[in-house]
Structure 1
Amino acid sequence: MIKRYLGILFVCFVTATYAQEEQKQTPKPTTGQVFSAHYARTYQVAIRYNDYDVAKHALYNLLVENPQNDSILYSLSLLYVQNQQYASAVLSANDILSVKPAHTGALEIGGISYENLGLKDKALERYETLYLNTDDFQTLYKIAFLQFDLKKYTECTTNIDILMGKKEAEELKSVYTLENNEQKEFPIKAALLSLKGMVLKEQGDKEGAKKRYNEALALAPDFPLAQEKLKNMDK
């Protein structure tokens, strides 16, 4: 599964597979096998030197030679996300999901890409399916914030309560950017309390919202989300 929020590590190489195939070949491999081995090595070298255009070109050629290999298409999807080509990432991820509906990597790529394209309802669908397959804390955390953005306050509140009851809520951190553009980690529980306050504010419970923001600030006095929401409470 793709590691979270911080960006995507793509260590999805197909070279080993082709190297094994080459060892088994007769002295006269087919033209397709020769091309596949060549493009696999090209991909590996291009990734090593961060030349993503060449890596993508190699994957295209590998995919043409091996259309049944979904790991190649997955590697291509990862490159699209890395290069912020979200429309292409969605299309390639959807092709994987048409064959393997529970492919966790493709589900997450779809969620990330739809969100960056501004299609939050589609992103929510992908993350919800991903959560059903993984029971992952960070995925449910993402779902809760998307539900707030989509004004699904009842569902958002339910998921906040689920998250707050998990041990990860006491252990994990979330990263926020401060005014000086410095990034800093804060307890994820402070973010969840702030989100609960945001929901209460939208539901007209200002006192309840203030209480949640202050609880978040008790955990992390400089937590920017709670500070901002408390400051703008009456707007």
Structure 2
Amino acid sequence: MKRVLLMLVIAFAGYGLKAQTNDSIPRLDPKTKNVLNIQNQAAFQLAMRYNDAQSAKVQLYQLIVRNPENLRFQEALASLYFESGETMSAALAALDILEINDKNIAALEIAAYSLEAVGALDRSLPHFESLYLLTGDNFSLYKSGFIQYSLKRYEEALNSVNMLIKNAKVDEKIGFPKSQTETQEISMKAAALNLKGMIYLDQGSKSEAKTAFEEAVQLAPEFELAKENLQKAQ
């Protein structure tokens, strides 16, 4: 349901705004604009100090309307929504930023994780892919591979995990649930090998899956998920 609602909101979000232009907003002289900006920023800081996210958002909206060219206010709003767990609002705010600057790292991260959280994996994937291309962050590459696997885009997923296996650094870790209350930190390479096995297993290639799972367990003998998957490949 969330995903359907998100798609409808995205489709119509710009409808009313496109009908307006900057000419419909009263122009302020630079001195007045500066004074109002200072007041809104001070009120925003105070609201954040008192953990009043709703009031902080109000101040940011005023700053955004008055300073549409300054993306840092939109970034702050998107971050505030994301940190508050309002993933749909966070996604929409981040997508607006990306319409202006598609290389904005903060907006790419918020859009990627927010869209994933509401189940819009096909819309989330390009943002994780862009994050990897722009930053070289291997976790973004892992997320790309996992979403490609979830969408059954197996060839792309295998390309991603093979790149990750080749490029993963020794000290890179990723968390996996061990129980309802515990997580375990596993090396990125072992995680990639486990994902590779899952891709092969999904395709019915048990021999290749078994090899990948065995390599994952060899690298990380404590890796519970890989050990469970290995049993499935027997």
Q: Scaled by the length of structure 1, what TM-score is found?
A: 0.80
How far is the alpha carbon of 1:180 from its aligned partner? Answer: 4.3
1:45 counterpart residue number: 46
Measure, in 2, the Cα distance between the counterparts of 1:84 and 1:70.
Answer: 21
4+ residue stretches of structure 1 with deviation over 4 A?
none
Is this contact kept in 1: 2:168–2:188, CA < 8 A? no
Counterpart amino acid of 1:108? E
Are positions 1:174 and 2:174 aligned together?
A: yes
Q: Partners of 1:116 and 1:189 in 2: how far apart?
A: 25
Q: Does residue 155 of structure 1 match 2:163?
A: no
Q: Which amino acid aligns with 1:78?
A: S
SS in 2 for 1:176: strand
**RMSD after superposition:** 1.9
Looking at structure 1, the residues matched to 115 and 180 of structure 2 have their Cα atoms a distance apart, in angstroms, of 29
**Most deviating of 50-59 and 74-83:** 50-59
Change (3 A) 1:228 1:48: farther
**Is contact 1:130-1:139 (8 Å) kept?**
yes
The correspondence of residues 89-108 of structure 1 with structure 2, limited to 5 A, is: 89-108=90-109
Corresponding residue number in structure 1 for 2:218: 218
Q: Please state whether the residue corresponding to 1:68 is helix, strand or coil.
A: coil
In structure 2, the partner of 1:32 is: 33
CA distance in 2, matches of 1:138, 1:39: 37
* Structure with greater proportional helix content: 2
User: Which structure 2 residues correspond to residues 66-81 of structure 1 after superposition, within 5 A?
Assistant: 66-81=67-82
Give CA deviations for 1:115-154 in whole Å, capped at 9, x if unaligned: 1110101101122223232232221111011110011111
Q: Which amino acid aligns with 1:148?
A: Y
How far is the alpha carbon of 1:167 from its aligned partner? 4.6
Aligned residue for 1:186? 186
The aligned amino acid for 1:98 is E
- Alignment partner of 2:167: what SS? coil
Amino acid paired to 1:182: E
Measured in 1, the distance between the counterparts of 2:119 and 2:163 equals 26
Corresponding position: 1:227 with 2:230: no
Q: Secondary structure at the match of 1:165?
A: helix
CA distance in 1, matches of 2:59, 2:80: 12
Separation of aligned partners in 2, 1:143 and 1:130: 10
Give the 3 Å change call, closer, same or farther, for CA 231–45 of structure 1 in structure 2: farther
Report whether the alignment pairs 1:62 with 2:47: no
8 Å CA contact 1:191, 1:225 repeated in 2: no
Asked if 1:112 corresponds to 2:117, the answer is no
- Runs of 5+ unmatched residues, structure 1: 1-28
Shift of residue 196, structure 1, vs aligned partner: 0.8
Aligned: 1:129 with 2:130: yes
Q: 2:207, 2:233 within 8 Å by CA — same for their partners in 1?
A: no
Q: How far apart, CA to CA, are the structure 1 residues paired with 2:194 and 2:50?
A: 42
Q: Is the 8 A contact 2:168 2:189 kept in 1?
A: no
Q: Is the 8 A contact 2:138 2:168 kept in 1?
A: no
2:179 partner SS? coil
Q: Percent identity?
A: 39
Deviation at 1:55, TM superposition (A): 1.9
- Corresponding letter in the other structure for 1:185: E
Counterpart in 2 of 1:200?
A: 200
Per the TM alignment, residue 81 of structure 1 is displaced from its structure 2 partner at its CA by 0.9
Farther-moved stretch of structure 1 (70-79 vs 221-230): 221-230
Deviation for aligned residue 1:226: 0.9
